[in-house]
Amino acid sequence: MSDSGSIAVALIWAEARNGVIGHDGSIPWHVPEDLAHFRAVTDGSTVVMGRRTWDSLPPRFRPLPGRRNVVVTRQTGWHAEGAVVAHSLEEALREAGTGGHSTTWVMGGGEIYRQALPFATRVEITEVDLTIEGDTRAPGLGADGWHRTPTPPAGWLESRSGIRYRFISCIRTTPELMPPA
Ligand code: VY7
């Protein structure tokens, strides 16, 4: 167990085959089943997101209901109703740890995933079967250090949008090599 105490840090994202997760401030596909998955996985937890991800949420979903919303920004005066503000990722993880939830879910975007990955023991990836242009990519997990298992049902699923997708759970195999939070 590393120094985030008993709070596990986990990341959740959806990526295209070429690693794209976003373009021009939103997710460049419509897979409603992924949104349902995201909601079910994060329900009742603390979610940590960057300010741009906060801005990207449809206003009726801000703050994300049923979750403690922690938003990371370098701006000193930034605030928003329903958001707990943190001025660095590490401050956000400390803040998230005070919420009494056992898992802190980091939900984007690209810059925040890169900062949070060293602290994460789990990543839930939705693979979307598209190759698509975008300006934001998921951080690579690398060839080793992670155990990848498809979330049942295994194999590609077909969205009602017609796009194929599948869920992959990634668990870190060497948590003892992690930096202290
Ligand atoms: C995108 C939305 C986009 C457009 C309309 C509604 C995975 C996702 C994220 C983050 C999806 C988004 C929504 C409806 C459900 C709301 C959240 C907003 C809720 C992620 N796999 N998928 N994400 N949503 N980190 N990982 O921001 O959301 O959860 O209540």
Of 105, 100, 132, 91, nearest in space to 43 by CA: 105
Average pLDDT, integer, range 31-50: 97
3-state secondary structure the chain: CCCCCCCEEEEEEEEECCCEEEECCECCCCCHHHHHHHHHHHCCCEEEEEHHHHHHCCHHHCCCCCCEEEEECCCCCCCCCCEEEECCHHHHHHHHHCCCCCEEEECCCHHHHHHHHHHCCEEEEEEECCCCCCCEECCCCCCCCEEEEECCCCCCEECCCCCEEEEEEEEECCHHHCCCC
46 has which bridge partners?
68, 104
* Per-residue pLDDT, 142: 83
* 14 within ligand 1 shell (Cβ under 6 A): yes
- Nearest residue (by CA) to ligand 1, atom 9, is 13
Question: Does 1 have pLDDT greater than 50?
Answer: no
pTM over 0.85: yes
Say which range, 67-81, 113-127, 147-161, has the weakest mean pLDDT.
Answer: 147-161
Output b/e per residue, 100-136; b: 16+ Cβ within 10 A.
Answer: ebebbbbbbbbbbbebbbebbbbbbbbbbbbeeebeb
Nearest atom within ligand 1 for CA of residue 53: 27
* Per-residue pLDDT, 68: 96
Q: 143-168: per-residue pLDDT in tens?
A: 789 999 998 778 999 999 999 999 99
* 54 within ligand 1 shell (Cβ under 6 A): no
CA of 122 from ligand 1 middle (Å) equals 19
Nearest atom within ligand 1 for CA of residue 108: 25
